[in-house]
């Protein structure tokens, strides 16, 4: 399993990084093979032979250590991210001054970190729910503890940046990263081997919570070096802006810095009109007029419905209806684009708009469909078969989203920017 993780990691980075026309999905044998294995792992609870293999891999010390090392390499390093970098360049309002921009960038980093840990926790639960987790409450405990530790780590990095000079900052950052990695490894390894007791979990939560509260108190008292911070951010923003416009195409920027060359993946390519339009869509969806609060409320409703329904088929129908509403929500965000200043100054043709409007909502819909399936599986609600339920949910989500987006494109024809 460890070699598969290693090969898949290198290929999945190449597959998932945004390059060339911003979205250009590249399938190869490694990603397909691992995807098949991953889907097979989702149904291992219903196949005793696979369950025995997974149990052996999860308990044999050498294999467990190799998997931990692989996962640490996958999630370690300073993650810049192509999407975050491009959003900071193109999507922050032009009139927004430095402090607001810094605040947004910091919040976005926290949000990405929490989302990444949430998805990773769900993946662990789906694959190892019979060996690593004995109930949903175990998942919630691990997720909550991980969120606390990540917030603590972010606050420590904030303190290091503003309380140390540039020469000492790197060494201190390495020390805290090492402590963070070692403590995370100890906690998860003991959890993995069922060696952690309820009292130890309670003490760990109290200790981590007190440290988090103290870190926020220290963070609020730090004198922020606004000039230094803004200058560094603005310089990075200017370089990224030139890069995305293709002014220096020979300079390749790595979408993930401070990472081993073996796992770096493909470099990012200069910007494109399709990429600009997609980023405008995601900006409007996440922090514009996309109304993420409504999306969150709908998700909570779906969560409660799955918890209260014990019939797998009824649960599947509820989830399909939820995806239908979400698809309408995702496509309707395009109605806000007439107010976008970037849509006025950036050259976008009808073909670019047609492509982005159809495929832009499909990307978040694919993620939401998998999340909905994970919630259904969380409460052990199976309508037909775990694999069949997954395929039905994904196919339905992609179908209704594409149909609604095609209808939306007909309405957008009146917009002059798409008639060039």
pLDDT at 94: 42
Judge whether residue 340 has pLDDT over 70: no
**How confident is residue 75, by pLDDT bands cut at 50, 70 and 90?**
very low
Judge whether residue 324 has pLDDT over 80: yes
* Average pLDDT rounded to a whole number, residues 375-388: 72
Q: Could you read off the pLDDT of 191-228 as tens digits, one per residue?
A: 766 667 777 777 878 888 888 888 878 777 776 666 66
- Which residue in the block uniquely carries the two structure tokens 């598969």? 4
The pair of structure tokens assigned to 343 is 């849509």
Least confident range of 8-17, 44-53, 179-188: 8-17
The pair of structure tokens assigned to 169 is 């900052």
- Cα–Cα distance for residue pair 45/43, rounded to 1 Å: 5
Judge whether residue 401 has pLDDT over 80: yes
Q: What angle do CA 375, 378, 383 make, to 5 degrees?
A: 80
First to last CA, the chain: 51
Q: Where are the domains of the chain?
A: 272-420
Mean pLDDT of the chain: 65
Judge whether residue 323 has pLDDT over 80: yes
Give me the sign of the Cα torsion angle 338, 339, 344, 349. Answer: negative
* Average pLDDT rounded to a whole number, residues 83-109: 54
Question: Is 147 within 8 Å of 117 (Cβ atoms)?
Answer: yes
- Cα–Cα distance for residue pair 318/324, rounded to 1 Å: 10
Angle subtended by helix axes 82-90 and 98-128, to nearest 10: 150
Nearest to 397 by CA among 365, 358, 355, 374: 365
Judge whether residue 9 has pLDDT over 60: no
pTM score: 0.43
pLDDT at 66: 57
């Amino acid at each position: 399993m460890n070699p598969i993780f290693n090969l898949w990691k290198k290929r999945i980075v190449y597959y998932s990084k945004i390059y060339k026309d911003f979205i250009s999905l590249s399938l190869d044998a490694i990603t397909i093979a691992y995807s098949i294995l991953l889907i097979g792992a989702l149904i291992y609870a219903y196949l005793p032979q696979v369950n025995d293999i997974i149990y052996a891999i999860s308990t044999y010390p050498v294999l467990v250590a190799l998997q931990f090392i692989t996962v640490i390499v996958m999630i370690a390093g300073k993650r810049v991210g192509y999407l975050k970098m491009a959003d900071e360049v193109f999507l922050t309002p032009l009139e927004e001054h430095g402090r607001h921009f810094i605040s947004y960038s910091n919040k976005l980093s926290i949000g990405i970190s929490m989302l990444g840990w949430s998805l990773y926790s769900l993946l662990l639960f789906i694959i190892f729910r019979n060996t690593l987790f004995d109930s949903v409450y175990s998942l919630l405990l691990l997720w909550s503890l991980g969120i606390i530790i990540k917030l603590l780590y972010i606050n420590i990095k904030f303190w290091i940046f503003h309380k140390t000079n540039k020469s000492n900052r790197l060494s201190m950052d390495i020390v805290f990263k090492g402590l963070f990695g070692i403590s995370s490894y100890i906690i998860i390894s003991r959890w993995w081997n069922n060696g952690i007791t309820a009292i130890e979990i309670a003490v760990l939560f109290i200790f981590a919570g007190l440290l988090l509260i103290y870190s926020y108190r220290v963070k609020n008292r730090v004198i922020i070096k606004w000039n230094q911070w803004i200058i560094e951010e603005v310089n990075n923003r200017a370089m990224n802006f030139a890069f995305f416009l293709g002014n220096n195409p020979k300079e390749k920027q790595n979408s993930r810095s401070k990472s081993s060359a073996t796992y770096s993946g493909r470099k990012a390519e200069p910007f494109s009109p399709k990429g600009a339009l997609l980023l405008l869509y995601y900006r409007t969806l996440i922090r514009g007029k996309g109304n993420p609060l409504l999306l969150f409320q709908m998700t909570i409703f779906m969560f409660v419905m799955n918890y209260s329904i014990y019939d797998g088929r009824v649960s599947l129908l509820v989830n399909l209806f939820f995806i239908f509403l979400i698809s309408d929500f995702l496509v309707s965000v395009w109605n806000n684009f007439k107010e976008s200043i970037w849509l006025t100054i950036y050259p976008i043709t009808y073909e670019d708009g047609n492509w982005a409007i159809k495929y832009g909502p499909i990307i978040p819909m694919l993620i939401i469909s998998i999340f909905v399936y994970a919630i259904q599986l969380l409460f052990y609600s199976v309508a037909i078969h775990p694999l069949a339920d997954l395929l039905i949910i994904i196919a339905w989500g992609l179908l209704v989203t594409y149909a609604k987006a095609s209808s939306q494109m007909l309405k957008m024809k009146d917009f002059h920017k798409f008639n060039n």
